[in-house]
Amino acid sequence: MTRTPATPLPSPKERRRLREAKSLSQDDVAAAVGVTRATVRSWENGRTTPRGHKREAYVRLLTGTEMTAHQENSAPALVGAATGPVQASPDRAEPAPEPPPEAPSTSEIAHEPEPERDPELRPALRPELQPPLEPLSAPLTPDQAFDALYAFCAPALARQTYLLTGRRELARESVERAFQLAWHRWPEVALDRDPAGWVRATAYEFALSPWHRLRPRHRNPEPPPTAPADRALLDVLLTLPPVYRRTLLLYDGVGLDLPETAAETEASTPAAANRLLRAREAVAARLPELAVPEELHRRLAQVASTQRLRPARPTMVRWGGEQRARHWTSAAIAFTVVLIGVTTLTLRTAPDHYEPPLAPGTTVQGVPPRVAPGPLSAEELALRAKLKSETVSGPQRLVPEPG
């Protein structure tokens, strides 16, 4: 008995492109397939994958035709074509819904050529692939694979996070927390299509969390860069909204293309393009010499490279993540024990049978009322006068006579 192979799926970036080419929103796809909008967003981000009849319905909705098993061989070509950067050309432009009239057009971003990256400055924001290594005799252990990912991504990621927050300690903490969470979910991260992107998105989310402003350490500003030009650029970046700042850093700093930037910021491609245009306009208004994207990329890399941010060793990060997991597990166990104890005490002390309420009190009959003091009678007046007339030392009352 043969098993029918699963319906081939395009890559996450190709799924988004096909959906936008049909002018469908995520809500439309969710209603057609029978899932929630969050599920469709996770499909396009590559976090999850549809299965079963929902997979077939999703592919049929994106491609317009139902793909059969004999088309499986052609699927890798489609997936591989979507994994590289999208190079827009005049004869094949990326279809996208037209933005509102008042919004700037996204064509100038979708059709702009890939900026020339300086090979000496590019590693400051984006790690480059290392030279091919010789095949290993044995596969990497989880610890070795995590350490390799950490050594590959942590230095550049710390510099990126510094441009997002302007704080060195927060940048180091964000990178360490992101890798600690990655180690806690290592089976999921190791099988992810882009482990570096997974860690980068987690670090950005932690660094841009609004709860940091409640921390006492966050209230004290850190010393800015020493160079006036670097200080001016960092001040302009920190005045941008967090989503604009993140979009600008991913596209003009890290070097992601527009669909990848939109996917990582969980926005549509036109929305990401509009955010990028607004951020560039704000930077150019304060620093006109950075109106050219190539110059902006060079300056971002230069500001990041001047910061000596040394992340902790990978063994310390793994140990810290394990300690944090143990503490949270101990806290959860302690809370569960306390909850069980309170519940047991409540069950032991709570009444287990019905007790009727006491009847209201009734009036007792036959008791004379209390009499208040009133005027004295004639006999009482005479007795009081007699007592006052007699001496205190009278023999009749106080002095006993010997017998």
d(CA 141, CA 139): 7
Which amino acid is present at 295? E
Asked if the model's pLDDT at residue 288 lies above 80, the reply is: yes
Whole-number percent of the chain with pLDDT over 90: 19
Cβ-contact 49, 9 below 8 angstroms:
yes
pLDDT score for 306? 80
**CA nearest 295: which of 224, 233, 241?**
233
89: which DSSP letter? B
Tokens of 383: 């007795």
Phi, psi of 280 (to 5 degrees): -65, -40
56-71 pLDDT per residue, tens: 888 888 887 544 433 3
Backbone φ and ψ of 30, nearest 5°: -65, -40
What burial class does residue 178 get, using C-beta atoms within 10 Å of its C-beta: 0-12 exposed, 13-18 middle, 19+ buried? buried
Question: What pLDDT, on the 0 to 100 scale, is given for residue 356?
Answer: 81
> What percent of the chain has a predicted confidence (pLDDT) above 70?
76
pLDDT of residue 45: 80
pLDDT digits (tens, 9 = 90+) for 187-228: 888 888 888 889 999 999 999 988 888 888 777 778 888 888
Domain 12-70, architecture per CATH? Orthogonal Bundle (1.10)
- Per DSSP, the three-state class of 92 is strand
Q: Could you tell me the residue ranges of all domains in the chain? A: 12-70, 118-129+141-316
Q: Report the greatest alpha carbon distance in the chain.
A: 147
Residues facing 89 on adjacent strands: 92
CA distance 47 to 55: 15
Tell if the pTM clears 0.75, that is, is over it. no
Answer whether residue 299 shows pLDDT above 70. yes
Among candidate residues 114, 63, 54, the one with its CA nearest the CA of residue 88: 114
Grouping H, G, I as helix, E, B as strand and the rest as coil, residue 122 is: helix
Q: How confident is the model at residue 402, as a pLDDT?
A: 67
